[in-house]
Chains A and B, each alone.
Chain A
């Protein structure tokens, strides 16, 4: 097999050729439309969606933009492919539409199972993730059937080993619209191929999380299988976990914890959270390593045994594992799990129990015989939670939501602010006193995320009505992600403030020793006013920190 790769700033697709098989083009520049234009209107979709490199990918159509036919002919164009492509475009639009509805409409599990690298639809996916072994065996693919992707996997492996043979390691390759990011973890290779224009650091962070998720399921000792047999087929070991990975990948576009490396709490009164924390502490003293009470992906309370600390990334992966596995909702469960940041080589045992559709308890122990003890613990915890109305407060908080930008109190505020302000009757004059923009908060504030560096926690406001669709929210998160990466860029940073205006919004970022604030405003917002508003947001967070953060003895001290 021969492989070659090239890198240039020109939008020239890189072609990797496997001689004895058919030609494979890993970097078809098929989507000249950016993320943003793709979403706008059906009308522009028609234009923007036209494929651009017909000869390299076998697509028909005129080139739409800068990435027009640049490669030699690899695959002959066939008529039925053109038709198929028309149908697929419609299908893709339907997919987009069905996903757009709301967060809840996202369906877990693997889709497009029937695709492979020969399918045009597969090539058009904006973001691929692959796990493969260093012998080129596919382990996981976000889209399509792993077994059918053996040839493609071998190609990826060839790229990695080609560079490794030079005594180097490949980090990423830019090819037209596509970025190919590699992460090598011993015998496991992870690859992302994306046309989403996310920064390299973000994509690499996502690959790290995918690797971490794999460790949650298998631990690092899976490496030993490859030492014994380099051709080891790992796919059966991950049987039944497609939903876990697809839900994690989905969370890259809605859960800021995936790039902030912090966790978030469900807003609750201080007393309520204290009550939950106290009973968990009792349990932790009886031989439980970590006791965590969660509502969806938000923490209600958590405690760790002495000296044990839980990394926010581990929490993210654990919560994703539990929430994406339907089986935990059926009954109480006892399952081996690994916390990669705590100890990537060993399993812990997790007792998992759902109190209601949203609220669940995770008790982690090193003792594989502890089930009945943990079950007793759960019964004790449940009694206390019911008695102190924690579970009903949790449901109320879910209904109320978190911080609404419309409720941002004016400065000076004598420390009487509460999260419940938005519950004021809608005819209250106070409610609209500051809302001089028709939508959103004061000075055109649409959304913010505040990350407390000391607590390793963040709080994200509710979305204002200007950012109501999932696509808009995803776009904003991607913008935050970019902002985060640029603020933390080791080459040119770190920076303290950043003010950025484009056609979508004004983004303001402010980093101090204590916190990071990311805020999005109306694109016409006034700069001075926006800065003033950010100060008010920080003051507001200080006023309500008892309710939005888990304070006090934090086990997050690594």
Chain B
């Protein structure tokens, strides 16, 4: 949930999408300005934070870059619970990854925070000649589902900062500090052991 203190906003943001879509590359481009041609698979989820200045406020993003592998799917709620924003990433050269992205959107609509700002990012826009998903198709889908849509390229940096900036602008800020509907993240974990396992 986004929380407000004076003109500072803390917002939890999660990236979801198929493996190899470029989630980590987008985050690394945004946070560190780097791009690696051969980005290794993310394990579990990686945490980053980055602050953006938007108009009169600063937004501190706490970013969860999740792993796209199937085995982590059942653990995704752990990362998107209480998120104020989500970027669902697909690879414009892979129709499968676009289908996967739609499934993530459905899951978030069902289980995520209802006020969540959702962005659909068609990544790898530099690979125009290998395109499989048209921008029009994705735009229509995004509009129907209340997401905002951008095509990005972590490699060329095109639109990468813009996605995060746009999210920062759309985060609800006039909200009074009411009890958020999502889960409240506390410093101290609840005691008691809970075990999750795959394929359950």
* CB nearest to A374 among chain B residues: B189
* CB nearest to A333 among chain B residues: B46
Q: Is A334 a contact partner of B196 (Cβ separation < 8 A)?
A: no
Given A221-B200, A333-B46, A346-B195, decide whether A369 and B190 contact each other with a Cβ distance below 8 A. yes
Q: Is B189 a contact partner of A327 (Cβ separation < 8 A)?
A: no
Q: Which of B54-86 contact A (CB under 8 A)?
A: 65, 67, 69-72, 75, 78
In the assembled complex, B177 has its CB within 8 A of some CB on chain A: no
Residue interface bits B34-51, CB-to-A below 8 A is 1, else 0: 000000111111111000
* CB nearest to A338 among chain B residues: B197
- Indicate the member of B19, B194, B198 with the most A CB atoms within 10 Å: B198
Summarize B's interface: helix, strand, loop or mixed. Answer: loop
Q: Is B71 a contact partner of A217 (Cβ separation < 8 A)?
A: yes
Given A330-B28, A336-B75, decide whether A219 and B41 contact each other with a Cβ distance below 8 A. no
* CB nearest to B198 among chain A residues: A218
* CB nearest to A346 among chain B residues: B195
In the assembled complex, B187 has its CB within 8 A of some CB on chain A: yes
Q: Which of A228-271 contact B (CB under 8 A)?
A: 236-241, 243
How large, as a class, is the contact surface on chain A? 35 or more
Q: Is A237 a contact partner of B196 (Cβ separation < 8 A)?
A: no
A335 to B46, CA, bound (A): 8
> Shortest beta-carbon distance, B43 to chain A, in Å?
5
In the assembled complex, A551 has its CB within 8 A of some CB on chain B: no
In the assembled complex, A222 has its CB within 8 A of some CB on chain B: yes
Given A325-B43, A333-B45, decide whether A373 and B189 contact each other with a Cβ distance below 8 A. yes
> Shortest beta-carbon distance, B80 to chain A, in Å?
13
Q: Is B199 a contact partner of A334 (Cβ separation < 8 A)?
A: no
In the assembled complex, B174 has its CB within 8 A of some CB on chain A: no
* CB nearest to A219 among chain B residues: B197
- List B contacts of A347 (CB < 8 A): 195-198
In the assembled complex, B6 has its CB within 8 A of some CB on chain A: no
In the assembled complex, B24 has its CB within 8 A of some CB on chain A: yes
In the assembled complex, A66 has its CB within 8 A of some CB on chain B: no
A221 to B44, CA, bound (A): 18
In the assembled complex, A457 has its CB within 8 A of some CB on chain B: no
Which of these, B40, B47, B188, contacts A373 with CB under 8 Å?
A: B188
* CB nearest to A337 among chain B residues: B44
A345 to B190, CA, bound (A): 22
* CB nearest to A331 among chain B residues: B46
In the assembled complex, B193 has its CB within 8 A of some CB on chain A: yes
Q: Is A373 a contact partner of B195 (Cβ separation < 8 A)?
A: no
Given A218-B71, A370-B189, A372-B187, decide whether A224 and B199 contact each other with a Cβ distance below 8 A. yes
Q: Is B198 a contact partner of A221 (Cβ separation < 8 A)?
A: yes
Given A366-B194, A367-B189, decide whether A334 and B44 contact each other with a Cβ distance below 8 A. yes
> Shortest beta-carbon distance, B50 to chain A, in Å?
11
Which of these, A217, A221, A224, A375, contacts B47 with CB under 8 Å?
A: A375
- List B contacts of A348 (CB < 8 A): 195
- List A contacts of B190 (CB < 8 A): 367, 369
Q: Is B46 a contact partner of A332 (Cβ separation < 8 A)?
A: yes
* CB nearest to A239 among chain B residues: B69
Which of these, B47, B69, B192, B197, contacts A332 with CB under 8 Å?
A: B47
Residue interface bits B126-158, CB-to-A below 8 A is 1, else 0: 000000000000000000000000000000000
Which of these, B43, B46, B187, B198, contacts A222 with CB under 8 Å?
A: B198
A237 to B70, CA, bound (A): 6
- List B contacts of A238 (CB < 8 A): 71
In the assembled complex, A328 has its CB within 8 A of some CB on chain B: yes
Q: Is A334 a contact partner of B189 (Cβ separation < 8 A)?
A: no
Q: Which of A298-337 contact B (CB under 8 A)?
A: 321, 325-328, 330-337
In the assembled complex, A163 has its CB within 8 A of some CB on chain B: no
Q: Is A335 a contact partner of B40 (Cβ separation < 8 A)?
A: no
- List A contacts of B188 (CB < 8 A): 373
A368 to B30, CA, bound (A): 27
In the assembled complex, A376 has its CB within 8 A of some CB on chain B: yes
Q: Is B193 a contact partner of A367 (Cβ separation < 8 A)?
A: yes
Q: Is A330 a contact partner of B46 (Cβ separation < 8 A)?
A: yes
In the assembled complex, A287 has its CB within 8 A of some CB on chain B: yes
Q: Is B200 a contact partner of A224 (Cβ separation < 8 A)?
A: yes
- List A contacts of B45 (CB < 8 A): 333-335
In the assembled complex, A200 has its CB within 8 A of some CB on chain B: no
- List A contacts of B78 (CB < 8 A): 368-369
- List A contacts of B24 (CB < 8 A): 327, 330
- List A contacts of B192 (CB < 8 A): 367
Residue interface bits A328-358, CB-to-B below 8 A is 1, else 0: 1011111111100001011110100000000
A8 to B75, CA, bound (A): 50
Which of these, A335, A369, A376, contacts B43 with CB under 8 Å?
A: A335
* CB nearest to B195 among chain A residues: A346
Residue interface bits A506-525, CB-to-B below 8 A is 1, else 0: 00000000000000000000
* CB nearest to B64 among chain A residues: A334
> Shortest beta-carbon distance, B48 to chain A, in Å?
5
Q: Which of B160-200 contact A (CB under 8 A)?
A: 183, 185-200
Residue interface bits A66-94, CB-to-B below 8 A is 1, else 0: 00000000000000000000000000000
In the assembled complex, A225 has its CB within 8 A of some CB on chain B: yes
In the assembled complex, A122 has its CB within 8 A of some CB on chain B: no
**CB-defined A-B contacts under 8 Å, sample of 29:** A218-B199, A219-B197, A221-B197, A221-B199, A224-B199, A225-B199, A236-B71, A237-B69, A237-B71, A239-B19, A239-B41, A239-B71, A326-B40, A327-B40, A327-B42, A327-B67, A330-B24, A333-B43, A334-B45, A335-B45, A338-B197, A345-B195, A347-B196, A367-B192, A368-B78, A369-B78, A369-B190, A372-B185, A372-B186
Q: Which residues of A contact B (CB under 8 A)?
A: 217-219, 221-222, 224-225, 236-241, 243, 287, 321, 325-328, 330-338, 343, 345-348, 350, 365-373, 375-376
Q: Which residues of B contact A (CB under 8 A)?
A: 19, 24, 28, 40-48, 65, 67, 69-72, 75, 78, 183, 185-200
Give 19 new A-B contacts, CB below 8 A, not counting A225-B199, A240-B67.
A218-B198, A222-B199, A237-B71, A239-B70, A239-B71, A240-B43, A241-B41, A243-B40, A327-B42, A327-B67, A333-B42, A333-B44, A333-B46, A335-B67, A346-B197, A366-B193, A367-B192, A369-B78, A373-B187
Q: Which 4 A-B pairs have the closest CB atoms?
A: A335-B44, A240-B41, A346-B195, A366-B193
